[in-house]
Structure 1
Amino acid sequence: MTSRKSGSSLTRIGLISDTHNLVRPEALHYLAGCDAIIHAGDICNPAVLDALRQIAPVTAVRGNNDTGEWAAALPTLASLTAQQVTIRVVHDIADLGADPRNEGVRVVVSGHSHKPSIVERDGVLFVNPGSAGPRRFKLPICAGLLIVEGAQVSASFDSLLT
């Protein structure tokens, strides 16, 4: 995957999870201009993915609340490569399985907890963009970004609501 923007060596990957059938205009605005989007599950309606595909290609995994024929077609684990960075996507980090380092994975994107976090362990960047769907408890409504340049990657997340 390379950048859509001519002359740019950066690949911008939007991160979103736990939308629970809610496509916030703030999320669409935040993801605008991304080269790709990762949805880490709990989509709850294929219309969510249709809306995201209007912005960029989408890699999505099935979450524990994704049911029905449309959801059965989604994998529970997905991988993609952006430039020289391999990214693994899973809804619940407990379902990751094998050590990602053994498969050359540099970034793991997950959802499920609704808690945004970025942690690097043993050379693997673990990113949870939080939830962009209905508010749960007092957790923030968030989405995130991965910026890839060659073999370098950085992650961030931002609140979608003030």
Structure 2
Amino acid sequence: MNEVSVAIISDTHGYIDPRIIDIIRDCDYAIHAGDICGEDVLASMQPKSAIVIAVAGNNEPRCMVDFPLPESSELALPGGKICIEHGHEHGHHTPCHTSLRGRHPDARVIVYGHTHKMVQDKSAMPWVINPGAAGQTRTHGGPSCLVLTANDREWDVREYRFDSLTGN
């Protein structure tokens, strides 16, 4: 059975925690769900396949003017696909999962960022997940990410959270 792993991050705001960089290197693919704020962040994301999928966050126009990113993207995996967007268009403080599911009904998983809060909503299909913040800004307990493993039948999401290096 062919199994793949995907590192999922968001909201780096110009800095990615080095422990999360290590997790990305162990995965087949990497996703950044926006508010990247620096091409060096994307350059540091080096999954095994070298495939990094990134979408624009609401802060990109102010910090990455010369680096265009799509508002949404997709990644096809064994057993389904992941749809990615930043999430800020579905509610500012708490994006509406019903709205996200309505926009991406054919996804198996929807990834969003924006809130800097880790979420796994598996109450309905597609799942809606948020990796939290992988940098230093508003990490709500420390930098975090998710790793999705997928094969033709089963998908699983594992959470990673680290102590803050800066005390934020």
Equivalent in the alignment of 2:72: 77
Aligned residues with identical type, % of pairs:
29
Query: Does 87-96 or 9-18 show the bigger shift?
Result: 87-96
Q: State the Cα distance separating 1:54 from its structure 2 match.
A: 6.2
Match of 2:44, SS?
Answer: helix
Equivalent in the alignment of 1:100: 104
Equivalent in the alignment of 2:85: 90
Provide the TM-score with structure 1 as the length reference.
0.84
Match of 1:69, SS?
Answer: coil
Equivalent in the alignment of 1:20: 13
CA distance in 2, matches of 1:24, 1:137: 11
CA distance in 2, matches of 1:54, 1:149: 18
Long gaps (5+) in structure 2: 92-99
Indicate yes or no: 2:160 matched with 1:155. no
Indicate yes or no: 2:31 matched with 1:34. no
CA distance in 1, matches of 2:66, 2:139: 30
Are the equivalent residues in 1 in contact too, given 2:56–2:69 (CA < 8 A)?
yes
Match of 1:154, SS?
Answer: strand
Q: Give the root-mean-square deviation of aligned CA atoms.
A: 2.0
Q: State the Cα distance separating 1:97 from its structure 2 match.
A: 7.8
Equivalent in the alignment of 2:53: 59
